[in-house]
Amino acid sequence: MDYMHWSIKQDENNICWLLFDYKDSATNILSTQALEELKDILEQINEAETQALIFKSMKSTGFIAGANINEFVGIDYQAALSLITLGHSVMNKIEAMKCTTISMIHGFCMGGGTELSLACDYIICSDDSATRLSLPEVKLGIHPGFGGSYRCIRRIGPLAAFDMMLTGRSINAKLAKKLKLVDEITAQRQLERAAIAFAAKKPVSRQQSIKNRLLNNTLIRGFLAKKITAKVAKKAAKKHYPAPYKLISLWLKYYDFPRKMLEKEAISVAELVADPSAQNLVRVYFLQEQLKSLGDKKLFKPLHIHVIGGGIMGGDIAAWCAYKGFQVSVQDQDPAILAKTIERAYQLFSKKLRDKRLISNTMDRLTADHKGYGVEHADIIIEAIFEDASVKQSLYQSIEPRMKKNAILATNTSSIPLETLASCLKKPGRLVGLHFFNPVALMPLVEIIHGEQSDKKTIKNIAAFSRHIDKLPLAVKSSPGFLVNRILMPYLLEAILMYAEGIPAEAIDKAALDFGMPMGPIELADTVGLDVCLSVANILAESYHKQVPEQLEHMVKTGYLGKKNNKGFYSYQNGKAQKDSTSSYRNMTDVQQRLILMLVNEATACLRDKIVDNEDLLDAGVIFGTGFAPFRGGPIKYIHDSGKHDLQVQMDGFKEQLGERFTQDNGWELV
Ligand code: NAI
């Protein structure tokens, strides 16, 4: 019988090769259709007297990417349960096969792909750097749902399994072997031979190590579950991200009853996936894919990057580009700053790469270039000097004659209109904004700012470059504050106003954290630097007729600059804000609403001003540029989910109570 996505090859050793080649797709996915076909195939193979069954991918990129996430969109509990039950029945069939079953992995193996492998007797994989195994479901607000939660814990023990399942991180072949997740790793060219050798073995009944048996023991399990839960609670609140808590509870309650645990796993994932939190995280996944598609790597790959300004941003941008494989020179007018830049880069590489040889190779790609010789060789020059239009312009005038004919000039300005900066250039089309966020290594977004004068090809090329350095590009119209800072600023200023009213900084930050923000606005302002906040606020206030709180001006005037000089709204010791854990405030709901309404109101204003092309891109920008509570799906999605009318009524209430700044923007009409 012919199948759409699978084919069967029986070889002379009586081994059945099950070849997965998902139709019309670059990657293999376990869609309902692929699972149904597989179920049918497994029944046939079980009838025949086959020696072994080997799963093999026909895609060059990887093994299996997991379930079909498209099927999760808008799914209800019943539909989710039947999809998951189908997955379970397939994995149970694989596990119960009479013959030896082997999963043969090269390239990525994610989610359902790892769960399918866990149901096999043996897992072998190539030692290639592209080979990575993961169970990343938690990132989508769910947990493994094709039997993987039980089977992963059984195979590698609870500590390693929870580390994989709760972080969603992928592991390489070497680590997978060390954890006994895979039975063998080998060079890719020997992979089939290794699979055939395993095919001659009998199915195994795996014995858990004494340590893992102990850790899974009822008594210790209770204690360990508490510890793991406490660790999770530091990162993700239960009411916002229920999945990790449900996963731990499954293990705690049912690990001694495997069938029951599998049944309960299916119910748990069906409940989770239909929940708004997971639905929004699925949305965020697709938004991320959308941003990725905005930069086409094939279009352009520069060879040499020259960064001017080795300060907070320039230094980190230079290091990041070198880490991502580019030849980089970094220039600063102050050699002492350059020395610090190189030292910070070394710290980044050491943390990320760990391997001495890799660290030294990466250091070799980064050159301190006080005199700026790199200008003449660079395909892209990234400027990250002081935020001052005339300083930037005089730099541009001095470097333009030395730049390569087609080199791009990218500025990291956070507020100056591109048109102003470009006016001094002979070729204004070559200037584009490439706005990174702080800290560069952690923030996934870059805003690609295009002015009236920007050349279309330059914009496309810089978006391609963003993908080469693994950032998510978002095309944003040149206007004060661009997208992210413009939306963030009213929220920060409202926080400062509340502080000036006497509401404790700790309470204001807590209200934002409770909403799901990664950091409170007061601590964020301190981290960005109060002088930087003030200068951006002044520019935005002038353009959008807003008021800058006197409190902020006063603090900057009196030398309160935030974390960088250890005194801001908080005082800092060893880089840590000293918070008063006893401080509280009675009306936390109002605090939270004031903050969030200011933010979403400005988001609607950006829609009205067409700063980005549509609602989805706006939500994507705010999530990936500020860390806006991902489980809420972005500010515009938040308006839809909370009810536009209800939020408008709240705005009106605050307007009456607190003043004109709560006036609804006309952009609400577009939502
Ligand atoms: P910074 O003050 O830490 O670094 C600026 C560096 O540029 C200094 O080391 C200075 O010596 C050097 N410099 C100034 N003029 C120069 C010249 N003519 N030639 C060579 N070097 C020169 O500033 P930071 O924070 O890194 O900001 C740089 C740019 O990035 C600004 O345009 C800022 O608006 C933007 N930005 C800043 C963010 C932040 O969080 N700090 C976030 C996003 C953008």
**What pTM was estimated for this model as a whole?**
0.92
Give me the residues paired with residue 435 across strands.
447
Mean pLDDT of all residues in 97-105: 96
For 59, phi then psi, to 5°, come to -90, 140
Between CA 584 and CA 394 the distance in angstroms is 50
Structural domains of the chain, ranges and CATH numbers in brackets: 6-274 (3.90.226.10), 297-477 (3.40.50.720), 488-670 (1.10.1040.50)
Cβ–ligand 1 distance for 532 under 6 Å, the answer yes
Q: Active-site residues: which are they? A: 414, 435, 447, 485
- Cα 314 to middle of ligand 1, angstroms: 6
- Whether the CB-CB separation of 643 and 671 falls below 8 Å is answered with no
Between CA 347 and CA 341 the distance in angstroms is 10
Give me the residues paired with residue 124 across strands.
104, 184
pLDDT tens sequence across 551-570: 999 999 999 999 989 999 99
Cα 624 to Cα 377, 476, 510, distances in angstroms: 32, 14, 21
- Whether the CB-CB separation of 566 and 573 falls below 8 Å is answered with yes
| pLDDT given for residue 112 in this prediction | 98
Q: Residues 6 or more apart from 572 whose CB is under 8 A from it?
A: 526, 563, 566, 578
pLDDT tens sequence across 489-511: 999 999 999 999 999 999 999 99
Stretch (H or E) spanning 433? strand 431-435
Between CA 547 and CA 549 the distance in angstroms is 6
Cβ–ligand 1 distance for 481 under 6 Å, the answer no
Cβ–ligand 1 distance for 309 under 6 Å, the answer yes
Q: What is the 3-state secondary structure (H, E, C) of 349-405?
A: HHHHHCCHHHHHHHHHHEEECCCCHHHHCCCEEEECCCCCHHHHHHHHHHHHHHCCC
| pLDDT given for residue 47 in this prediction | 85
Cβ–ligand 1 distance for 313 under 6 Å, the answer yes
| pLDDT given for residue 545 in this prediction | 86
| pLDDT given for residue 227 in this prediction | 97
pLDDT at 1 > cutoff 80: no
pLDDT at 610 > cutoff 80: yes
Between CA 467 and CA 586 the distance in angstroms is 46
Cα 254 to Cα 85, 160, 225, 331, distances in angstroms: 18, 19, 13, 59
227: which DSSP letter?
Answer: H
| pLDDT given for residue 387 in this prediction | 87
pLDDT at 451 > cutoff 90: no
Q: How confident is the model at residue 2 (pLDDT cuts 50, 70, 90)?
A: confident
pLDDT tens sequence across 526-554: 998 999 899 889 989 998 888 999 999 99
Could you report how far apart the first and last alpha carbons of the chain are, in Å?
51
Counting ligand 1 atoms within 8 A of each CB, the residue from 306, 308, 313 with the most, and so the one to mutate, is 313
- Whether the CB-CB separation of 667 and 604 falls below 8 Å is answered with yes
pLDDT at 204 > cutoff 80: no
pLDDT tens sequence across 253-312: 999 999 999 999 999 999 999 999 999 999 999 999 999 999 999 999 999 999 999 999
- Cα 419 to middle of ligand 1, angstroms: 19
Cβ–ligand 1 distance for 421 under 6 Å, the answer no
| pLDDT given for residue 323 in this prediction | 97
Which structure tokens are listed for 458?
């330059």
